[in-house]
Amino acid sequence: MKSHAPKPDIERVIAEIEKNKGLQPVPLFGTERTVIAVIGDERALDEHHIASLPGVSKVMPVLQPYKLASREARKEPTTITVGPVTIGGDEVVIMAGPCAVESDKQMEVAAQEVKKRGGHILRGGAFKPRTGPYSFQGLGREGIEIMARAAKKHSMVTISEVMDVRDVEFVAQHIDILQIGARNMQNFDLLKEVGKTKKPVMLKRGMSATIKEFLLAAEYILMQGNPDVILCERGIRTFEDETRNTLCIATVPIIKNLSHLPILVDPSHGTGKPHLIRPMARAAVAAGADGIMVEAHPNPIESQCDSDQALSMEDLSEMIEELGPIAKAIGRNLATL
């Protein structure tokens, strides 16, 4: 649409597209301009008719296989505001907290500490996708409630993983941002289900997914009408065994070029080693990441999950402090609460 096209013009175009049962209009609202993406067989679209409607700037094909996620469809970056935090704007955000929710006390301390140390969003897993079935699987719905209580007390925005379509509604009721883990990046039914919610979704890169597959997975969520997708690079599997995964920092500028969606980096799962987390967090911010997700525990050795990669709260402070000047050096700032 033309910039600042009036609402009735936008609605008219949507209605005209809807007349054709084979086509699905998906409006992408921007501050300047609205783009109406049309999904379906392009032969079914009467391009000249649509182009002649009032308010239409131009009709153009999107060549990338991920249509809604692509920069072609939307030039301006997607920004997602949750409470006092905006993701994808000028400011860099920090998500931190334990790998797993363990108890009221642990999450209570985690919420307080993460906030005090300069973190913006509290993380914690209640549904844990563990490699082995005998490992701690998380507290499930009870864990979600624990997390929500702790976050509420300290006014923190929350993010937590959902693994099963049957839990999506419950998690969406209690948690601010739904996380899709690496192992579920191509669980298409789950992607569609979180796409039907009104909650932002952070999609982690599958451990053997290409960037194209990553963006196509995001497309499944966007297609359902949920525009608030955040991407997260968390490392991929390679032959290298010095690190848990091989953290691909190049993903950040690649995604920035291909897509308008925000991209975060998780150096915790990306490296699996505490002494590598800070340098890789610095690299990620320098490369233009919109935020960092890290695992930090009030008492790392007691952590029931991923204890060997958990930062202490002191480490978290030091990491956050050194990210400020790096963000500034590339014309950004760390977010403040």
Q: Which residues bind ligand PEP (CB under 6 A)?
A: 99, 125, 129, 161, 181-183, 204, 234, 266, 269
Size of the site for Mn ion (CB under 5 A): 2
294 lies in the binding site for Mn ion (CB under 5 A): no
Q: Which does 233 bind (CB under 5 to 8 A by kind): ligand PEP, Mn ion, none?
A: none
Alpha-carbon gap, residue 163 to 30, rounded angstroms = 31
For the chain, the first-to-last Cα distance in angstroms comes to 35
118 versus 181: smaller Cβ distance to ligand PEP: 181
The CA distance from 46 to 52, in Å, is: 10
Place of tokens 């999904």: 39
Which sign, positive or negative, has the C-alpha torsion 13, 225, 217, 215?
positive
Q: Which is nearer to ligand PEP, 56 or 293 (CB)?
A: 293
Report, in Å, the least distance between residue 55 CB and ligand PEP.
Answer: 42
Residue 34 or 304 having the CB closest to Mn ion: 304
- Name the minimum Å distance from CB 122 to ligand PEP: 13
Partnered with residue 13 across adjacent β-strands are none
Draw the binding track, 235-274, toward Mn ion (x: CB under 5 A; -: no contact): ----------------------------------------
Closest distance of CB 69 from ligand PEP, Å: 19
From 264, 275, 229, select the one nearest 120 (Cα to Cα).
Answer: 264
Candidate ranges 113-121, 187-195, 244-252, 298-306; the one touching Mn ion (CB under 5 A): 298-306
Distance CA 224, CA 192 (A): 6
Considering the complex, state which of residue 99 and residue 249 has its C-beta at the smaller distance from ligand PEP.
Answer: 99
Q: How far is the CB of 117 from ligand PEP (least distance, A)?
A: 19
Nearer to ligand PEP, 269 or 278 (CB): 269
Q: Which does residue 91 touch among Mn ion, ligand PEP, none (CB within 5 to 8 A, set by kind)?
A: none
- 306 lines the binding site for Mn ion (CB under 5 A): yes
DSSP-derived pairing of the beta strands 34-39 and 157-161? unpaired
C-alpha 39/C-alpha 242 separation (Å) is 44
Helix (H, G, I), strand (E, B) or coil at 256: helix
Angle at 26 between CA 2 and CA 88, to 5 degrees: 80
Nearer to Mn ion, 99 or 311 (CB): 99
Write down the least CB distance from residue 161 to ligand PEP, Å.
6
The answer to whether the beta carbons of residues 260 and 270 sit under 8 Å apart is no
99 binds Mn ion (CB under 5 A): yes
| Shortest distance, position 13 Cβ to Mn ion, whole Å | 45
- Which residue's beta carbon is nearest to the bound ligand PEP? 181
Nearest to 188 by CA among 155, 217, 146, 228: 217
Q: Which residue is nearest to Mn ion (CB)?
A: 99
Q: How far is the CB of 194 from ligand PEP (least distance, A)?
A: 14
Stretch that binds Mn ion, among 183-191, 244-252, 299-307, 319-327 (CB under 5 A): 299-307
Residues in Cβ contact with 120 at an 8 Å cutoff, skipping those fewer than 6 apart: 84, 85, 93, 94, 95, 157, 335, 337
Closest CB to ligand PEP among 37 and 252? Answer: 252
Closest separation in Å from C-beta 21 to Mn ion: 45
Taking 3-state DSSP, the helix, strand and coil percentages for the chain, each rounded to the nearest 5, stand at: 40, 20, 40
Closest to 291 (Cα-Cα) out of 79, 83, 84, 88: 88
Q: Is the Cβ of residue 67 or residue 204 nearer to ligand PEP in the bound state?
A: 204
In sequence order, which residues have a C-beta less than 8 Å from that of residue 153 and are 6 or more positions away?
108, 111
Binding site for Mn ion (CB under 5 A): 99, 306
